[in-house]
A and B are shown apart, each in its own frame.
Chain A
Amino acid sequence: NAGVMQNPRHLVRRRGQEARLRCSPMKGHSHVYWYRQLPEEGLKFMVYLQKENIIDESGMPKERFSAEFPKEGPSILRIQQVVRGDSAAYFCASSTVVKLSDTQYFGPGTRLTVL
C-alpha cells in the first residue's frame, strides 16, 4: 500500500505564473487535507476535502488559492498568479475516517519556490 504521494516534489515558478500541486491519498482514503509550512514558521491548516466536496477551507487565502478533490484522480491545490510570499512547503495528508482512531498520514510535501 503506497503512502500519500505528492508531485511535484519541487516546483519553481516565476511571479504571476500558476502553480498546481497534486496529492494522491493512500488507497482507500477519501479525506484529504492540505497544510502549508512557510519558511521558519510552523505548519498551518489550509483546507479539508472529501471526494467532490470542500468540508473546511477556513485556512485558505481568499484570493488566488483553490482546491479540489474530484471523484477520479488526485486532489489539486491551485495557486494562481503566484507571489514570492507563496514560497513554502505544501503538505497533503489523508485519512479514512472509518474509525475515530484513524490517523492522518502525511505526504512528502511539495516545495514551491517563487522567483
Chain B
Amino acid sequence: KNEVEQSPQNLTAQEGEFITINCSYSVGISALHWLQQHPGGGIVSLFMLSSGKKKHGRLIATINIQEKHSSLHITASHPRDSAVYICAVSKTSYDKVIFGPGTSLSVIP
C-alpha cells in the first residue's frame, strides 16, 4: 500500500465548478504539500500545511492531522487550472518528501 493516496485519479470538470481533490496518508508527518504540475512542465508548490486551513486565491487546502487526510479545493474552476495536482508529505518541512500518485484535472470550457 502506498504511503500517500489520492482520489480521484482523474477528474474532468466544467468551467466554474467547485473541485475537491483528496489525499490520505499513513505515515506520521509534520508537513503536507500540495503541488501543481502542468504537462511537460515544472512543479509549483501551492501549499505547505501542518494544521488547519490555508487559502490562496481560488485555492483552499485543509488538513486533519488526526484523520491523516487533506483536501485541496478549487473554487470557480477555470481551464487554466488543468494540471496534475500532487499531494506529498514529509516528516518535517525539511525532510525528504513522499509523493502521492497525482490527480489529473481537466477543466472544460
Contacts and interface: CB of A to CB of B under 8 A. Distances in A.
Contacts, number: 67
A115 interface: no
A43 B92 contact: no
B22 interface: no
User: How many residues of A sit at the interface, in one of the four size bands?
Assistant: 20 to 34
Q: Is the interface of B mostly helix, strand, loop or mixed?
A: loop
Contacts of A99: 93
Interface string B5-27: 00000000000000000000000
Interface stretch (B36-44, B63-71, B73-81): B36-44
Contacts of B56: none
A31 B86 CA distance: 22
B97 interface: yes
A43 B96 contact: no
Nearest to B6: A42
A59 B97 CA distance: 11
A8 to B, nearest CB: 14
User: How many residues of B sit at the interface, in one of the four size bands?
Assistant: 20 to 34
B85 interface: no
A59 B96 contact: yes
A101 B99 contact: no
Interface in B84-109: 86, 88, 92-102
Contact of B33 (A42, A104, A107): A104
Nearest to B102: A42
B102 A101 contact: no
A106 B96 contact: no
9 contacts: A31-B94, A35-B97, A43-B43, A48-B95, A59-B96, A97-B93, A100-B31, A104-B93, A106-B42
9 shortest A-B CB distances, which residue pairs?
A108-B42, A103-B48, A106-B43, A97-B94, A45-B96, A43-B99, A42-B101, A100-B93, A42-B99
